[in-house]
Amino acid sequence: MVDITTNIAGIKIENPTILASGIMDEDAGSIQRIIDNGAGAIVTKSIGSISRGGYPNPTLIELDHGILNAMGLPNPGIDDFGKEIKLLTLSKKPIIGSIFAGNIDEFINLANKMQNYGVSAVELNLSCPHAKHYGLELGCDSNLVRKITSSVKKSVKIPVFVKLSPNVTNIVEIAKSAQEGNADAIVAINTVKAMKIDIDIGKPVLSNKIGGYSGEAIKPIGVRCVYELSANIDIPIIGVGGIKTGEDVIEYLMAGASAVQIGSGIYYRGTEIFGKLNKEIIDWMELHSYVKLKDIIGVSHT
Amino acid sequence: MNYPKITEVLENKREAKDVKTLTFKNLFQTIPGQFYMIWIPEIDEIPMSVSYIAEEIKGFTYRNIGEATNALYNLKKGDKIGIRGPYGNGFEIIGNHILFVGGGTGIAMLAPAIEEAIIKNIRTTLIIGVKTKSELFFEKRLKVNGNEVIITSDDGSIGEKGFASDVARKIIENDGIDSVITCGPELMMKKLLNYCENISFQASLERFMKCAMGLCGQCCIGRGIRVCKEGPIFNGELLKNIDDFGKYKRDASGKKIYF
């Protein structure tokens, strides 16, 4: 019998597939569907202090090897979202509350509210590539990353994950700052800053013009980031970016990830992707005589 | 590929006050009840259910109610829009005697379904409910042999004065209807569902939609049921078990807005 349980910062997860922030996670019903489909844990939509409608459409389009989006951080606001999380407390799967903010006090307030709602951990979105004053605008400054992380850490008891962007010169430097701020885990990567111009009309397609690219095209970038992080930091890493198959998950684990997140994969393989990946991971492990998932983590470094 | 392909407007024809039908060339096979995402560059991209589904030319009929539809309203032949789709499941045209109930602009997307039923030699009765006479359209298109058309208006300016749902109730009770297909205000559709205990019921739902690819979660109802992908047409059994139906929708931020 193969053991695919994993552990992030003391949170036991029955399998390594976690729903990534932003996909099918804006209300309790959608999150429940992903739980029903076998995800080990779920990350909520990134939630801010007040409600945001996001950008006008087009906000999401398919390209040849991935998906381009600039949703604009739509969310109902932290107070309304509490009702959604409370509807989920019966579920035994860990719920990770993703939050975004423009300053430290706001992060602290959001993290505390998430903790009160009963989430297992918070994920700081320091990496959204297309929202002014949020995300990447904070997440490319290592001093700020350290300050935000340590301030949130001091104010809550639950683990704090920091989600980083690949759109920086040196992701390791930023991750080290998060680690110095006592982050419990690093989540890497967010989408890759990108755009699409329609040549028939000579204009960008996304209403925000610039967005974030996800899907299979960015998997090698994600794997590289996780590999570099794993060689240079001591806290667990959750790998994200372009995962579609069980073998993709294995690759991220070998790079050093302790778990992975799935977003665009839902487009390619449906909401059933979580159960499918777990079966594929087990099949692969049996074929290659692995008994524990832990034994795969980081093997590419040795 | 879920990418808005640039297409020229063939025609943008007035149907009634503030209502137009826009047609475009498109070869994709489309069934009644499906929708396309229509990109009006630099304005917005919105879902539109089809009202015409000919092999080479598709069309949708819309009311000018906001920024995006106002931009559509001003488009002329040859103007460029982006099209992706068709999306969604579409209607199942089944039964021996189908009652169609279109409330307001809802009649637009029912039209191809009614025409398909007529082609299949299914007996049909149609109720078009409007607030007032000037809102009525598609009456002539659908007044054809084999389809009985009843008009209701809230103010009595045309047809029977009253609500479409009340007229529907009498017909469901007395006329041997075995299938109801509807599109219109959700509270009207909810009432109709209550009258359809033992007969087939299909309703087209409208929710704020963004990606239309089943990813963003914006249009979800119930336990993560995506209106863009598993819908927009839902049957009675499913709707009876969904709390949202006839109660609330979520706005662009995901906040619940009660009807």
Strand B248-250 to B233-235 pairing: unpaired
Tokens of A25: 């996670």
Architecture of domain B5-87 in CATH? Beta Barrel (2.40)
Q: How many domains does chain A have?
A: 1
Tally: H helices and E strands in chain B: 6, 18
Q: Which residues of chain B are in CATH 2.40.30.10 domains?
A: 5-87
- Decide: A277 and A243 in contact? Cβ < 8 Å: yes
- Decide: B120 and B97 in contact? Cβ < 8 Å: no
Distance from CA of B5 to the nearest CA of A (A): 9
Q: Which residues of chain B are in CATH 3.40.50.80 domains?
A: 97-258
The CATH number fitting domain B97-258, selected from 3.40.1710.10, 3.40.50.80, 1.10.1670.40, 2.160.20.60: 3.40.50.80
- Going through chain A in order, the beta strands assigned E by DSSP cover 6-8, 11-13, 17-19, 41-43, 60-63, 66-69, 95-99, 121-125, 160-164, 185-188, 192-195, 197-198, 203-204, 210-214, 237-240, 259-262
Cα Rg of chain B, angstroms: 17
Question: What domain range is A251 assigned to?
Answer: 6-52+73-195+215-301
Q: Would you give per-residue pLDDT tens digits along chain A (302 residues)?
A: 899 999 999 999 999 999 999 999 999 999 999 999 999 999 999 999 999 999 999 999 999 999 999 999 999 999 999 999 998 877 789 999 999 999 999 999 999 999 999 999 999 999 888 888 888 888 889 999 999 999 999 999 999 999 999 999 999 999 999 999 999 999 999 999 999 999 999 999 999 999 999 999 999 999 999 999 999 999 999 999 999 999 999 999 999 999 999 999 999 999 999 999 999 999 999 999 999 999 999 999 98
Q: Tell if the CB–CB gap between A264 and B255 is shorter than 8 Å.
A: no
pLDDT at position A90: 75
Q: Which CATH number is A186's domain given?
A: 3.20.20.70
Tokens of B33: 């009840």
Tokens of A149: 């992380």
Closest CA to B85 of B35, B10, B123: B35
Q: Tell if the CB–CB gap between B214 and A267 is shorter than 8 Å.
A: yes
Distance from CA of A11 to the nearest CA of B (A): 25
- In angstroms, the CA B184 to CA B111 distance is 13
B78 touching chain A per CB within 8 A? no
- In angstroms, the CA B4 to CA A59 distance is 12
At A228-285, the pLDDT tens digits run: 999 999 999 999 999 999 999 999 999 999 999 999 999 999 999 999 999 999 999 9
Strand partners, A52: A75
Counting one residue from chain A and one from chain B, the pairs whose CB atoms sit within 8 A come to 129
Tokens of A162: 């920091």
Distance from CA of B252 to the nearest CA of A (A): 5
Tokens of A43: 């990350």
Tokens of A81: 């979202």
Tokens of A27: 């209300």
Q: Is the ipTM of this complex over 0.95?
A: no
Cα Rg of chain A, angstroms: 18
Please indicate whether residue A225 is annotated as part of the active site.
no
CA angle B22, B52, B230 (to 5 degrees): 105
Compare CB distances from A203 to B41, B44, B215 and report the shortest one's residue. B41
CB atoms < 10 A from the CB of B184, how many?
A: 24
Compare CB distances from B217 to A25, A36, A61 and report the shortest one's residue. A25
Does residue A257 form part of some domain?
yes
Closest CA to B216 of A45, A128, A37, A23: A23
The DSSP output letter for A87 is H
Three-state DSSP state, B91: coil
Exposed, middle or buried: residue B179 (CB in 10 Å: 0-12, 13-18, 19+)? buried
Q: Tell if the CB–CB gap between A27 and B216 is shorter than 8 Å.
A: no
At A26-56, the pLDDT tens digits run: 999 999 999 999 999 999 999 999 999 999 9
Q: Which residues contact B98 (CB under 8 A, 6 or more apart)?
A: B117, B122, B123, B124, B125, B177, B178, B179, B180, B181
Does residue A58 form part of some domain?
no
Closest CA to A261 of A225, A237, A279, A280: A237
pLDDT at position B145: 85
Q: Tell if the CB–CB gap between A75 and B254 is shorter than 8 Å.
A: yes
Does residue A67 form part of some domain?
no
Strand partners, B19: B16, B63
- Decide: A166 and A221 in contact? Cβ < 8 Å: yes
pLDDT at position B108: 98
- In angstroms, the CA B45 to CA B37 distance is 6
pTM of whole model > 0.90? yes
Q: Considering only CB atoms, which chain B residues are within 8 Å of A24?
A: 215-217, 220, 224
Catalytic residue among A99, A128, A175, A221: A128
- In angstroms, the CA A151 to CA A181 distance is 8
Stretch 202-231 of chain B: residues touching chain A, C-beta under 8 Å: 210-211, 213-218, 220-225
The alpha carbon dihedral of A169, A173, A174, A175 has a sign of: positive
